[in-house]
């Protein structure tokens, strides 16, 4: 076969069995027009910042600047909170069935514009289009549909006969699932009658700003949703604002601790969804081919930028060699490259800072004596990239087994008995998720009752549904998002007559 010259962003051909995959790119033009600069969204309008500082968001696959956006000041935050407060009385007074109409409308528009949003998310975030198209966007719409259904049924949600909203909700979301995390927080807040001031992550603001356009298209009353962009300084100003009644944060554990200290002694309601170091536990009776797919999905989905990623593989000693051989073969077929290529399995790392963090922890794993393995693959010359990586010979003392890497790096440990597996799985300051792979239902129940994790998957991993609550224990935070449980953080429990 004659060699052809590849462009800088073209997907390298990777062998998969007897076949090779040719590029199948999605058009960047499908993302619609990206403005050169953005202000904040306050009171139903895009407005300029009171300050002059601007930040830049880049395409992680190329390193090219996509747009500039405003660095929110305390004055900007105050203006957004005042707009949300002004809108609260009318919005909370609407019958639930009327609020539901707006959420249904938003959900339908998200579906109609899903291709545009999926491409924009991949460009701004770096994740493969296959994931934004097939996972993120369907779940975004599903959350708005689901909570629209709850809006007129709050009296029957189990929180008393007259549940009432809190007021203004301050929401700070991360960069790994920008639009999905927005939906997780905004949908229940609006369904319960609260108004919102949202701060997206400073590396991925574009889909949140596009969502503001969707809210205008849906006719959402002005001030019900406000978006202030910026870095951690803006987030700190928002969570500290005295007229905010509720704070919801998803992000790193250190920032979550700082917010908890900041709000201590106040009457603000707080929910935190923080880091994780999940154990994916494979027993000797597990269907190994199925388990391999679950392991790959658990750690390499979204480049490992997942708080509940199965970054620790605990495998029973008797099947360690067989499982690792199969896992390495599967890793060798993963395609790393252009996020807009429909064949890509692993896209770009979100930022230079995150790539440096992943690289530093991987190097620490080698220094501490773990054995590193990664499949051969050609990485693009521009942007931020990291090969899917496997470490064996890992002990519980290694940093890669203790710290959240937040990247495509898997640490392998072994166990002999179920009790040892539980002990090793729980030996972490985190407690967000875990996975169990076995044919025995009784063993699944025995393990699940002993694992200190908010979510336990059985013979699967990274499965999400808007009807199911999600959240953690210990340093993974507190509070639940999703399902009926996701309503409670936005209701005034003290005012309930129960």
Residue 227 near residue 47 (C-beta atoms within 8 A) = no
The Cα–Cα gap between 430 and 415 comes to 20
For 31-274+477-492, CATH number out of 3.40.50.620, 3.40.605.10, 3.40.50.150, 3.40.50.450 equals 3.40.605.10
Question: Environment class of residue 205 by beta-carbon count within 10 Å: exposed (0-12), middle (13-18) or buried (19+)?
Answer: buried
Strand (E) or helix (H) holding 146: helix 137-150
In this prediction, residue 190 carries a pLDDT of: 98
Mean pLDDT of 300-321: 98
Could you give the count of Cα atoms lying within 13 Å of 80 in the half-sphere of its Cβ?
Answer: 35
Residue 191 near residue 153 (C-beta atoms within 8 A) = no
- Which sequence spans correspond to the domains of the chain? 31-274+477-492, 279-458
Residue with tokens 């252009």: 338
Q: How far is CA 157 from CA 14, 142, 331, 344, 468, in A?
A: 50, 19, 44, 42, 14
pLDDT surpassing 80 at residue 428 = yes
Query: What is the pTM (predicted TM-score) of this model?
Result: 0.94
Active site includes 213?
A: no
Q: How many CB atoms lie within 10 A of CB 276?
A: 28
The Cα–Cα gap between 212 and 216 comes to 6
Question: Environment class of residue 427 by beta-carbon count within 10 Å: exposed (0-12), middle (13-18) or buried (19+)?
Answer: middle
In this prediction, residue 3 carries a pLDDT of: 40
Mean pLDDT of 260-264: 96
pLDDT surpassing 70 at residue 18 = no
In this prediction, residue 162 carries a pLDDT of: 87
Q: List, in sequence order, every residue forming a beta bridge with 51; answer none if it has no partner.
A: none
Mean pLDDT of 315-339: 97
Residue 481 near residue 185 (C-beta atoms within 8 A) = yes
Spell 94-122 as b/e; 16+ CB within 10 A means b. Answer: bebeebbbbbbbbbebbbebbbbbbbbbb
Q: H helices within 314-436, ranges in order?
A: 320-331, 352-367, 399-402, 418-425
pLDDT surpassing 80 at residue 461 = yes
The topology (CATH level 3) of 279-458 is Aldehyde Dehydrogenase; Chain A, domain 2 (3.40.309)
pLDDT digits (tens, 9 = 90+) for 441-451: 999 999 999 99
Catalogue the E-assigned strands of 335-396.
371-373, 389-392
Q: Which of 121, 131, 202, 273 is catalytic?
A: 273
pLDDT digits (tens, 9 = 90+) for 432-442: 999 999 999 99
Q: How far is CA 402 from CA 211, 219, 295, in A?
A: 37, 47, 18
Residue 433 near residue 455 (C-beta atoms within 8 A) = yes
């Amino acid at each position: 076969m004659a060699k052809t010259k590849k462009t800088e962003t073209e997907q390298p051909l990777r062998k998969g069995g007897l076949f090779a995959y040719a590029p199948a790119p999605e058009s960047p033009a499908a993302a619609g027009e990206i403005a050169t600069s953005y202000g904040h969204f306050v009171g139903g309008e895009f407005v300029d910042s009171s300050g002059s500082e601007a930040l830049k968001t880049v395409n992680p696959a190329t390193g090219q600047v996509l747009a500039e956006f405003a660095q929110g000041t305390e004055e900007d935050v105050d203006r957004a909170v005042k707009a949300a407060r002004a809108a609260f009385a009318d919005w909370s007074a609407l019958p639930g069935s009327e609020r539901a109409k707006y959420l249904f409308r938003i959900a339908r528009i998200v579906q109609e514009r899903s291709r545009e949003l999926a491409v924009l998310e991949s460009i701004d975030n770096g994740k493969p289009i296959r994931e934004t198209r097939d996972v993120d966007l369907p779940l975004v719409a599903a959350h708005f549909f689901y909570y629209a259904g709850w809006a007129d049924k709050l009296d029957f949600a189990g929180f008393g006969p007259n549940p009432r909203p809190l007021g203004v909700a301050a929401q700070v979301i991360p960069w790994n699932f920008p639009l999905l995390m927005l939906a997780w927080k905004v949908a229940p807040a609006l369904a319960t009658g609260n108004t919102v001031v949202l701060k997206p992550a400073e590396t991925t603001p574009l889909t949140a700003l596009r969502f503001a356009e969707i809210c205008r298209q849906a006719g959402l009353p002005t001030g019900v949703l406000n978006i202030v962009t910026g870095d951690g300084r803006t987030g700190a100003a928002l969570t500290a604002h005295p007229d905010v009644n509720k704070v919801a944060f998803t992000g790193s554990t250190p920032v979550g601790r700082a917010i908890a200290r900041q709000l201590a002694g106040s009457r603000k309601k707080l929910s935190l969804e923080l880091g994780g170091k999940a154990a994916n536990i494979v027993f000797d009776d597990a269907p190994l081919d199925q388990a391999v797919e679950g392991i790959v999905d658990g750690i390499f989905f979204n480049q490992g930028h997942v708080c509940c990623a199965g970054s620790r593989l605990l495998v029973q000693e008797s099947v360690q060699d067989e499982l690792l051989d199969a896992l390495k073969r599967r890793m060798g077929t993963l395609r790393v490259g252009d996020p807009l290529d429909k064949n890509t399995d692993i896209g770009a790392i979100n930022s230079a800072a995150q790539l440096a963090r992943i690289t530093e922890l991987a190097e620490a794993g080698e220094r501490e004596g773990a054995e590193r393995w990664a499949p051969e693959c050609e990485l693009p010359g521009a942007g931020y990239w990291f090969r899917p990586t496997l470490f064996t010979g890992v002990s519980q003392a290694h940093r890669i087994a203790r710290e959240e890497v937040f990247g495509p790096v898997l640490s392998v440990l072994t166990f002999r008995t179920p009790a040892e597996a539980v002990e090793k799985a729980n030996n972490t300051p985190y407690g967000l998720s875990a996975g169990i792979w076995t044919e025995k239902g009784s063993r699944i129940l025995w393990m699940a009752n002993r694992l200190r994790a908010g979510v336990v998957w059985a013979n699967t991993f990274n499965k999400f549904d808007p009807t199911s609550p999600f959240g953690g224990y210990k340093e993974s935070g507190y509070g639940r998002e999703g399902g009926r449980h996701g309503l409670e953080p936005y209701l005034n429990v003290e005012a309930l007559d129960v």
